[in-house]
Amino acid sequence: MKRISVFLIVVALIAGIVGCTGTPGMQIRDWYDLDAIRDNLDDSYILMNDLDSTTPGYEELAGLAAKEGKGWEPIGPSGEPFTGTFDGRGYEIHDLFINRPDEFDVALFFEVDAGGRIENIGVVNVIITGGAQVGSLVAINGGTVSKSYSTGSVTGNEMTGGLVAVNYEGTVGDSYFTGSVTGEWVVGGLVGQNEAGTVSYSYSTGSVTSPEVVGG
């Protein structure tokens, strides 16, 4: 009987350990959870489902009337980049709206620093307007963006990219943007400006409009 009891305890412990080794990270289920990332920029996060205009928190945080018409506030205030990991697990974030034409560093994420990683996420049907350094997924990337994509409309003044505005010593791979990108100077379909960074196996389709310094 004692041997059986010990065996059952060992099995239970092993089962518990195996259960704890599943996909790690804080779970994102709605817009409130997504917004809370800004409170812990070095943590790990996983998206558990699609987010769209029907998901709790949309009207307050990412809709046309959110933040007095400014829409979504980019994750990570100036000087505080995201250094954690965000795994979208193949899910999508829909209908992201940002209207901040007088602001710099406009996107879903303000900045991803070295060691930070965003992967497996789609940001679909965006409407984004910013000042300088404007993208849909990341404004300034010094980390890694992998297996991610965006669709919609991105508009800025300078250094504007469909997916990433400025890739500064960062890596963008296996990613794409489809839609329209409009700016006044240094504009690209996928990345607005690539500075000592790496872009591989990635592309953009759609229109890129600017009077000066335009890329694909």
What is the reported pLDDT for 4? 39
pLDDT at 5 > cutoff 70 = no
Going by pLDDT thresholds of 50, 70 and 90, the confidence category of residue 216 is low
Average pLDDT over residues 18-37: 79
In whole numbers, what is the pLDDT of the chain averaged over residues?
90
- For the record, the structure tokens of 135 come out as 């993208």
Please indicate whether residue 213 or residue 159 has the higher confidence score (pLDDT).
159
pTM of the shown model: 0.88
Dmax (CA) for the chain in angstroms is 82
Q: What is the mean pLDDT of residues 72-82?
A: 89
- CB-based contacts of 40: which residues, under 8 Å, 6+ apart? 26, 84
Q: pLDDT category, 112, cuts 50, 70, 90? A: very high
What are the tens digits of pLDDT across the range 180-210?
999 999 999 999 999 999 999 999 999 999 8
Q: What is the pLDDT of residue 15?
A: 39
Report pLDDT for 92: 99
Q: Which of 3-12, 16-25, 140-149 has the lowest mean pLDDT?
A: 3-12
Q: What's the pLDDT at 195? A: 95
* Residue ranges of domains in the chain: 24-209
Using the Cα atoms of residue 144, residue 212, residue 206 and residue 129 in order, give the sign of their dihedral.
positive
Asked if residues 171 and 138 have their Cβ atoms less than 8 Å apart, the reply is no
Residues sharing a CB contact under 8 Å with residue 197, sequence separation 6 or more, in sequence order: 141, 167, 168, 169, 170, 171, 172, 191
| CA distances from residue 162 to 61, 100, 151, 175 in whole angstroms, order as listed | 22, 16, 8, 11
Select the more confidently predicted residue: 128 or 215.
128
Q: Report the pLDDT value the prediction gives residue 24, as an integer from 0 to 100.
A: 72
Q: 144 pLDDT exceeds 70?
A: yes
